[in-house]
Structure 1
Amino acid sequence: MIKTVIIDDEVNAQNLLEKTLHKYFPHKFNITAKCRSVDAGVIAIQTYEPDLVFLDIQMPEKNGFELFRYFDKVNFETIFITAYSKYAIDAIRRSALDYILKPINHVDLAQAIKRFESKSEHSFAQKKLSLLLENLNVNDQNTSKIAFPTTEGFEFIHSNQILYCKAESNYCKVKRIDGIEKLTARTLKFVEEILPPHFIRIHKSYVLNLNFVVRYNKSNKEVEVTNGEKLPVSFRKEEEFLNAVLQNQ
């Protein structure tokens, strides 16, 4: 069974999650503790050494992110529970961590659990959580670092080092400004959603970092970037691209 700790200041939310787990995943979870604060959660984790922690973000006194400051090494996976907060969710997704929105429903919960069970990269838990805390402390999200899943594990890249991303079937190639290319185990659509606002889709196959645009050839519908490459701009994306370039000046 999966040893589990639930940390949420709302008792009703704790009980709903517990009942949902027992109803849809019978005999799979051993809920060793339910806690209403970060401090109580720290003690429970130290006592029971869980495999998985469900962690509410918005709690009085200390928010859920502060939990990790009490651990030199993180040996458990985390699924965050939150009411919608775009900033927090963006930071979580860029760190390759998981979350479910309140109110919890069994479909979202099942998908999160499936992702948890399919993970073999437990050794990356510490790195991903460190990245999350780093991104939360960065005032300018344009300089955030992103965890890109790869076939070997994860590649951690600063967004300001990314020149463009290109679709490669169900994968995505990340081209860095130093010329290095990394193939990520995610679609271009997924990657586009976790990139900062100065990245824009210019074509069905390309998402471009506007900071590295050199010039645009309107007749050929090609944009030249700082390394000399020329990328196609689709007719449908041209107006949006040109407006974005002007706003990015």
Structure 2
Amino acid sequence: MIKAVIIDDEINAQSLLEKTLDRYFPNKFNIVAKCNSVDSGALAIKKHEPDLVFLDIQMPEKNGFELFKYFEVIKFEVIFTTAYNQFAIKAIKRSALDYLLKPINHLDLSDAIKRFETRIDGSFAQKKLSLLLENLNVNDQNVSKIAFPTLEGFELIHSNQILYCKAESNYCCIKKIDGITKTATKTLKFVEEILPSSTFKRIHKTYVINLNYLVRYNKANKEVELTNGEKLPVSFRKEEEFINAILQNH
């Protein structure tokens, strides 16, 4: 069975999550502790050594992110639960971590559990949570690194290394300035949302480019040329927004 700890200051939220797990994942989870604060949660984790922690972000005394200050080494996976806070959600996505919006939907919970069960390398948890804390301390223009989920695990890439991103069905190809292409197991829409909005712009249903590597825009042909010589199409629907973005950046 999967040992789990629930940390949430709302007793009703604790009970609802436990009941949902019992109903949709019978005999799969052993909830070894339910805690209403970061301090009590840290004690429970050290005592029970769970496989998975369901962690609320918004709590009165300390927010959920402060939990990790209590551990030099993270040996447990985390699924965040939250009712809001867009900045936190973007940082969580950038770190290849899972989150659930309250009230928790059992389908979203099921997807998060499936992803948890596919993770076999315990070192991933430490890396992703370290990256999360790093990303929480920078603003949108200075994202340090982004963890892109791949078939093998995840790939850490600095946003400044990305030339453009291309949609490939439900996957996304990330073309780097060194010529290497990485495939993320996420849609272009997902990737676009976690990239810094000040420097990345959607120019076509298939492409998001890094404006820092734009060389020229050919209005007649409706295509951009990037620093590596590649030419990519600009759709009619995205043209005005794209031109405005160029003017704002320069």
**TM-score surpassing 0.5?**
yes
Could you say what secondary structure the match of 2:69 adopts? helix
Asked if residue 90 in structure 1 is aligned to residue 90 in structure 2, the reply is yes
Match of 1:214 in 2: 215
Shift of 1:85: 1.1
Aligned-pair CA distance for 1:128: 0.4
* Structure 1 residue 233 corresponds to structure 2 residue 234: yes
Does structure 2 conserve the Cα–Cα contact (< 8 Å) formed by 1:171 and 1:183? yes
TM-score calculated relative to the size of structure 1: 0.94
The alignment yields a C-alpha RMSD, in angstroms, of 1.5
Matched, 1:194 2:204: no
Is this contact kept in 2: 1:163–1:176, CA < 8 A? Answer: yes
Distance 2:143 2:32 in 1: 39
Report the Cα distance in structure 2 between the residues aligned to 1:170 and 1:130, rounded to whole angstroms: 28
Equivalent position amino acid for 1:117 in 2: E
Consecutive unaligned residues in structure 2, runs of 5 or more: none
* TM-aligned CA deviation for residue 142 of structure 1: 4.1
Q: Which residue of 2 aligns with 1:130?
A: 130
Q: Which residue of 2 aligns with 1:45?
A: 45
Instruction: Give the secondary-structure state (helix, strand or coil) at the position aligned to 1:164.
Output: strand
Paired residues of 2:140 and 2:196 also in contact (CA < 8 A): no
Letter in 2 for 1:97: L
SS of residue paired to 1:178 = coil
Residue 203 of structure 1 aligns to a residue whose secondary structure is coil
Q: Which amino acid aligns with 2:76?
A: F
Q: What CA distance in whole angstroms lies between the structure 2 residues aligned with 1:128 and 1:203?
A: 31
1:157 is matched with 157
Q: Which residue pairs with 2:72 in the alignment?
A: 72
Residue aligned with 2:89, SS: helix
The amino acid that maps onto 1:17 is L
Distance 1:24 1:135, change over 3 A: same
Residue 247 of structure 1: aligned partner: 248
2:58 counterpart of 1:21 = no
Distance 1:26 1:113 in 2: 13
Deviations 1:86-122 (A, max 9, x none): 1000000010000001122322222222222233343
Counterparts in 2 of 1:142-181, with a 5 A limit? 142-181=142-181
Identity %: 77
State the match for 2:120 in structure 1: 120
1:243: how far off? 1.5
User: What residue ranges of structure 1 are gaps of 5+ in the alignment?
Assistant: none
Q: In the aligned structure 1, how far is the partner of 2:177 from the partner of 2:26?
A: 49
Report the AA paired with residue 230 of structure 2: E
Length-normalised TM-score, structure 2:
0.94
Tell me how many residue pairs correspond in the alignment: 249
Determine helix, strand or coil for the equivalent of 2:203.
strand
